[in-house]
Amino acid sequence: MSGFDFDLFVIGGGSAGVRCGRIAAGLGARVGVAEARFWGGTCVNVGCVPKKLLVQAAEYGGFAADARGFGWQGPLPEHHWASLIAAKDREIARLNGVYKRLLEAAGAEIFEARARFIDPHTLEVGGRRLTAARIVIATGGHPVRLPIPGAEHALVSDDVFFLKDMPKRLAIMGSGYIAIEFACIFRGLGAEVFLIYRQPQPLRGFDGDLRAALAEALADAGIRLYPQTAITEISAEGDAKRIRLSHGEELSVDAVLLATGRAPNVEGLGLADAGVEVGENGAVRIDREWRTSQPHIYAIGDVTDRLNLTPVATAEGHMLAERLFGRGERVWNFTQVPTAVFSIPPLATVGLTEEEAAARGPTEIFLTRFTPMRHTLSGRKRFTLMKLVVDHESQRVLGAHMLGEDAPEIMQGIAVALGMGARKADFDRTVGIHPTAAEEFVTLRTRTRLVGMKEAAE
């Protein structure tokens, strides 16, 4: 591709961009990658990785208390927030370096600067003008604030990872992944947490039984739930914050976290100068091949606002690079993407919810709930819920859902089975590993209910 400085230029050094650039460079393409903020993107720096570390930190307090039921004696340890954040920062700095080295080792040229379009093939990168035959937009997303009075006094998710002191009383607005996970983190570390959300149950779009079970588990953990409620105003009172709720109640807290959504990172990219179209929410419009309105410009990851999950972004980057510069034979399954919420306890899911499956027709539901073995001795109020959603006619397992310890680890294997078209009989004839929670998925023999008959009749 002579006449251009690069065969491929990637804007964004997150999960999608780094994978795309690294694979393309490994296939012999002349690749440039620009990142203005931090290598690894949201996931590594202010998302999945540091959040999981904080979740693990929060779990240790519960483990320490549980140990007494197993004969361990002595005072419970105290948590030191600053030590946790310092340890987190060291690990993130290490991962930043890893991402840069992966690109450099593959032969890509990296630019620690912001990139913007001058025209469809030209970019300004750190004061330099560069041209590329193909360009990939992989700039991810950013948290947004609610348009409410006093929103400037609130935190967004990025801010939480850099707090110098841990808030002792925290109000969180939202009930998606981010809100739920931070509620559990801070409650596990000893804070008083108020979780405020507009829906009747948390985690809109998830299976109904799972949502109800999560709400129960959050309440059992001591998180104060305010369903069908919104924050209408935030004001500062010295170091404290006062919030007014939609039903009139007021709360005084140390901090307020607005965890009510994210938006694509497109500001300042000059997309109009390149002729790249975006939707109403700013998401870059793409076709099934990740092409934008300009056929040589592509967009992958959260900037497209489709499946905003790190493994999906990584897979898209890999597939696109291979299609552009290799054989393009690798294909991921995006129709049954497993996902987890690292609440305490965590939940995980893959495939259809009961509500989605019932809308299609007759569906069999297999459901179990039990106390995990650990907590028969710990005495902590904990339960595990597991559920299979099965098509009545074909007996194909359409969905699997779990709330309980190790749910994400268990669900990864279940996702393989569902991706291969497993039927209920395949689960039934699989020998379980005993004693585990996972074995319950292959010992669910008795149908709980049959749903979707009305939809089938209509």
Q: Is 392 a catalytic residue?
A: no
Amino acid (1-letter code) at residue 59: E
Query: How far apart are alpha carbons 340 and 348 in whole angstroms?
Result: 4
Q: Which of 156, 162, 160 is nearest to 89 (CA)?
A: 162
Question: Which position among 247, 296, 401, 434 bears the catalytic label?
Answer: 434
> DSSP characters for 168-209?
SEEEEE--SHHHHHHHHHHHHTT-EEEEE-SSSSSSTTS-HH
Q: Which CA distances in Å does 284 have to 6, 78, 141, 294?
A: 22, 47, 11, 11
Query: How far apart are alpha carbons 45 and 48 in whole angstroms?
Result: 8
Looking at residue 363, the DSSP 8-state letter turns out to be: E
Looking at residue 329, the DSSP 8-state letter turns out to be: -
Question: Do residues 178 and 211 lie in contact, with contact meaning Cβ atoms separated by under 8 Å?
Answer: no
Q: What are phi and psi of 446, to 5 degrees?
A: -100, 125
> DSSP characters for 230-296?
-EEEEEEETTEEEEEETTS-EEEESEEEE-S-EEE--TTS-HHHHT--B-TTSPBP--TTSB-SSTT
Query: Is residue 449 helix, strand or coil?
Result: strand
Question: Do residues 225 and 215 lie in contact, with contact meaning Cβ atoms separated by under 8 Å?
Answer: yes
Extended beta strands in 20-89, E state: 31-34
Question: Do residues 454 and 372 lie in contact, with contact meaning Cβ atoms separated by under 8 Å?
Answer: no
Query: How far apart are alpha carbons 66 and 375 in whole angstroms?
Result: 8
Query: How far apart are alpha carbons 205 and 180 in whole angstroms?
Result: 14
Strand pairing of 122-125 and 240-245?
A: unpaired
Q: Which sequence positions are flagged as catalytic? A: 434
